[in-house]
Every structure is written in C-alpha cells, then in structure tokens.
A and B are shown apart, each in its own frame.
Chain A
Amino acid sequence: MTEASEQLREWPFLRAALVAVAALLLVELVGTAVDRHLNPTPSALARTVKCLRNEKGLPVETGALDPIGKTADGGVARTRIETNGITIVISSNTSKAKKLAGYYETVNGGPTDAIGLWGHDVFVWERSPSPTQKQTMYDCHY
C-alpha cells in the first residue's frame, strides 16, 4: 500500500480527532463563559485585595487617602509589604493609569523607582521597592 493511499485511510481518524479536540475546546470556552456569567468576575480591585489578604497574608485597606488616588475609577488599596507601604491605584484603562502615574511623579518632583506603572495599575511605594516586594505585587496584579 502506498503512503498516499495509507494517508487517505488515516484521514477520517485525523478529521474526527480534529473535530473532537475542537469540540473540547469549544466546551471549555462555553463553560468559562457560562461560569463568568453565573459568577461574574470580581473587579480588579477586589481580586487584588483578595490575593494580598489570602495569598500573601497582608493587612489591606481600601480607599484613597490622597486627592490623586480619589480620582482613580478602579479603586485604591493600601498595604505594607516587608515594612514598605504601597498604595495600589487601579484605573479602568492604561491611558488613565499613565495619567495618574504622571500626576504622582509631578507631585513627587519627577520619575522615581517608588512609582511604578503596570497595565492599568499604578504602584505608589513609600520608598523604592526591593525585588521581593515588587514580586509580591506582581503576583497580585490582575
């Protein structure tokens, strides 16, 4: 039997497998969508607070103490990681976050390691964070 005819005989198996895997993928996507509909995804702020409290065991307060933070439309959380205080300012998109980071830098007298921007989050540290402090925040970024 030639390879071409053998491949012809194999094709129904391959086609069925492609369909089966695609169906599994579809079930996964539909399942995720239904789950998200029935259990709406908590806000980024809620997930960040939950992660910091439950996964990292940190005390977390919400709400801004400063006027810039009060304008953030995603909310604000505050905590202390290894003695370094941090305010997490969450925006609904990256351009708003960039603007807020710019305001903090202006107030602070220019760019500094203590003010970090990641996606729609602005991290405002009391002092320059250590790698492990940064890691803790990256772990709880959503």
Chain B
Amino acid sequence: MVAIWLTVALVAVLGVVSVHNAFSYPAAGGYDAAEHISYAHTLVEHWRIPKRGQGDYYTPPGYYLLAGGAIKLGEALRLSSPEHLGQLLNGLLAVGTALLLIGIVRVLFPGRPWLRVLALGAFVMIPVALKTDAMFHPQPLEMFLATLAVVLVTRLIRDGRYPWWNALALGLTVGVAQLVRSAGLWVFAAVFLALAVTVVARPGVRRPAGKALAIVTVLGVLLPLPWYIYLGTTYENPVLGRRGAPPPAQRAPATRGAVSPELASLVVPLALAQSLSYYTSGGLPESFTHPYRGALPPRFLPVLYTETWGDYLGSWSWGAVGMPRPQMSPSVNRRLALQSLVGAVPTFLALAGCLSLLALGLIRARERAELLAVALMPAVALAAVFYYASHYPSPDGDTMKGMFLLPAIPCVAIGFGFAVDGIRARAPRLGFALIGLLLLCGVVSLAYGIA
C-alpha cells in the first residue's frame, strides 16, 4: 500500500514540476531552441520542411507538427509566449512516459512494488529528463514513443501469443518514432533485436513471434521510408541528413601552430575523435570539480555524464547571455560539482542493473526473453551516441550530450530499480542504508531539475 501511495506521489511530483518548468523555463533557452521553434512555425504556417541553413532541416517533422499546433493554440489563447504550450506538451509526455514505465515494471516484475517505486523515483529525479522535458525539443516525444514501444514488445514477448494487432501497434509505434528523431532508428533496432532473439531462443513460439517480427519490420521500414528518401535525395545522408566528419587522412593537420586558434579549436577535436582516450577518459578530477564547458575538456564519457546529471554546456542552470540564468561563477560551479557527486552512486547502480538485465535476458533468453527490450535499449542507445559522437564530432561536445540517451532513460531507471531492489532483497540493512543515501541524492537532483 505504501508503495502504491509513493508511486502516485512521484507521478504527482513529476506532473507539478513538469507544468511549472514548462512555464518557468524560457522557450528560447533550450538546446537549439530557436531552430526548433522556427521549424514548428515554418511547418504549421507554410506547411513545408525547412531547407538547409534554416535550422534542423534534417529532423523529421513529427514533433514539430504537434508543437506547432500547440503554438497555434497558445496564440489563440493570447499567451504572451505561446511556445510554452510546446514545452507543456513535453511535460505531459514526461508524465505519460512515467506511467508507461510503471506499466513496464508491472509486466516484468509484477510482485515487486519497491522496484517500481525505485525505478520511477530515478526517472522523476534524473536531471537530463527534467531539463529536456522543460525545453521546446522533440526528444521527450521520442522518449515517450520509445517507452511505448518497450511496453508493447515486452507484453508481446511475455504473453507469448503475438496477436497481429499488437504487432501492428508496435510496428506503427517504431515507425512513427522514426518520424520524430533519428533516434527512432535505434529504438527500432532494439525492438527488432529483442524480437529476433526471442524467435531464436523460443522454438515453441517461433512461428507467431516470427510473424510479429515480420509485421514490425515491414511497418518500421515502410512508415519512415518517404522521409529517408526525401533526406537521401535532397541531402547527403538519408538518416542524419548531412555528411559525417571526413576520414582522418582528409582532415587538416592538428598542429596548433599551423592554424589560427579559431580553426585549431575546430580541428583538434576532430583529430581527438579518433583517439581511444577520447572515449575512455573519465575526465578526472574535473568531471567532479569543474564539470562545465571550458574547464572540463570535451571527452565522450565526461560530457555524457556531466550533461546527464548537471549542465556541461550551459543550457539549464548557467550560461547563455541574455537568458535569465547566471553566468558561470564559483557558486554555480559548486552546484554543478554537487550534481556530479550525487550522480555517481545512482549511475554506478544503474549501469550494474542494466548490465545484469542484459546478461539475464541473453543468457536465459528462453525463460526471460521479455527482459530483452528493456535491457537492449540502453546498450543500443549508448552505441548510437558513440556512433554519432565519433562520426559527427563537435568542438564543444554538443554531439555527445546526455540528452541523446533520453529515449533509453526510462529503461536505465528500471535497471537502477532492479539493482537497488536486488541489493535490498539480499542484504536488507545495506539496502535500506543505500536507499536513504539515494533518497538524499534524488532530492538534491530534483531540486536542481526545477527551473
């Protein structure tokens, strides 16, 4: 009963914070906000996709169609900043995602109410979700659709009946997800892999599971195909719409003395993107003492971590001249450093939880194949972000920020809940001490995630 009330309370907290953030956080303050808002305006006012040089021309129109409609509604209601309704849409999607997360846990772990509370708590309090949900940005819709896809595929595999209408719903979901962000492609990949492993591992359901896989594959390919054809024929790449970094041999030499400092700042990260240490360095100790752009050099893991728990790029609690938030200062840095600190234990547990779910799903696929979608999402997401960061390197680390992992964050939260609940069941005293510590971390992070 306590767990039920806690679940309700967490959803309510998320709802209140999301609505507050939607109207408190400036519409123009988020990641590439001006480009996203301009896209939505262009789409609903001129009914066309922006061209290159006019913003996020390479992003599918799914979110902008909804957000543009929200802006129109805001204009009809004579709001001073109608874009806030686009942000409110994201807040509502965050609450919807939380409800879907509860649904996944109920399907996978029906008798573990504390796992549900822990997973939901992690999702409600992780700053990358709170931040992005407050922004005018397509990623929360992608997260919602990804989580919906995980619910559908998990139920499909658990029930073992594979009715065609459920496969149809799943296929439509993964198809539509690709019409929101390119991340939809890896959501499709995770769902495809989960079903494919099930087909292989469970001979008893091979035929119906194979049919479901075929329906999902056909819809997952056909629905977004017109968009990919448009991007491929109009621009250089059918998925990302633009070329990646040239191979190392064609790049400018990375000798700083030979180029201007401005050019060097562009060239050096491209060269670095090829070195192993660029991806393995933890950025210690700066990841914990100075976790922000400038002082902490852009490297894969540090940027991913500090943007997930704090604000490496300066889009939330600091930065951006002209925004109602402070410039970098010692006190801002202290808050960011605290965020890096409170994120350490939850990240450790979430990684362990996700890893164990993946191992369980793969090694015991015959009995536990229903775990695969949840387990594969973070792994596939990480691989996709790695690909994007290595092929589209950015001087300031913009292409490896934690926001790109957002569609997998509900699954990461389930991994976290799985780990903490497992420890609690095995060693109750240690478990409760751990939960106390995590509660403290969660409250600090939740406070940070309020705009």
Contacts and interface: CB of A to CB of B under 8 A. Distances in A.
A25 B330 CA distance: 28
B290 interface: yes
B12 interface: no
A39 B125 CA distance: 38
Given A10-B422, A11-B426, A56-B261, A142 B355 contact: no
A14 B295 contact: no
A138 interface: yes
Contacts of B203: none
A25 B425 contact: no
Interface stretch (A15-23, A63-71, A107-115): A15-23
B355 A20 contact: yes
B214 interface: no
B295 A139 contact: yes
Interface residues of B, number: 41
B80 interface: no
Contact of A140 (B109, B265, B295, B352): B295
B165 to A, nearest CB: 30
B280 interface: yes
B42 interface: no
Given A21-B348, A28-B282, A138-B295, A14 B422 contact: yes
Contacts of A20: 352, 355
B348 A25 contact: yes
Interface in A1-58: 2-4, 7, 10-11, 13-14, 16-18, 20-22, 25, 28-29, 31-32, 51, 53-57
Chief secondary structure at chain B's binding surface:
helix
Contacts of B278: none
Nearest to B283: A32
A14 B353 contact: yes
B294 A53 contact: no
B360 A13 contact: yes
A132 B329 contact: no
Contacts of A127: none
Contact of A3 (B109, B294, B423): B109
A7 B422 contact: yes
A31 B277 CA distance: 10
A74 B198 CA distance: 62
B111 interface: yes
A21 B355 contact: yes
A139 B294 contact: yes
B295 A17 contact: no
Contacts of A140: 294-295
A102 to B, nearest CB: 17
A87 B207 CA distance: 75
B260 interface: yes
B310 to A, nearest CB: 15
B21 to A, nearest CB: 24
Contacts of B425: 4, 7, 11
A14 B419 contact: yes
Interface in A72-88: none
A21 to B, nearest CB: 5
A139 B356 contact: no
Residue picked from A21, A57, A118, A142, most chain B C-beta under 10 Å: A21
A13 B284 contact: no
A54 B256 contact: yes
B7 to A, nearest CB: 17
A32 B282 contact: yes
A95 to B, nearest CB: 15
Contacts of A131: 321, 327
B128 to A, nearest CB: 19
A4 B284 CA distance: 40
23 contacts: A3-B109, A7-B112, A7-B425, A10-B360, A11-B422, A14-B418, A14-B419, A16-B359, A17-B352, A21-B352, A28-B282, A31-B280, A54-B264, A54-B265, A55-B294, A57-B262, A131-B327, A134-B328, A135-B294, A135-B327, A138-B329, A138-B333, A139-B294
Interface of A: 2-4, 7, 10-11, 13-14, 16-18, 20-22, 25, 28-29, 31-32, 51, 53-57, 118-119, 131-132, 134-135, 138-142
Interface of B: 109-112, 256, 260-262, 264-265, 280-282, 284, 290, 293-295, 319, 321, 327-330, 333, 348, 351-353, 355-356, 359-360, 363, 418-419, 421-423, 425-426
Given A29-B282, A118-B330, 6 more contacts: A10-B356, A13-B359, A14-B356, A14-B418, A21-B355, A56-B261
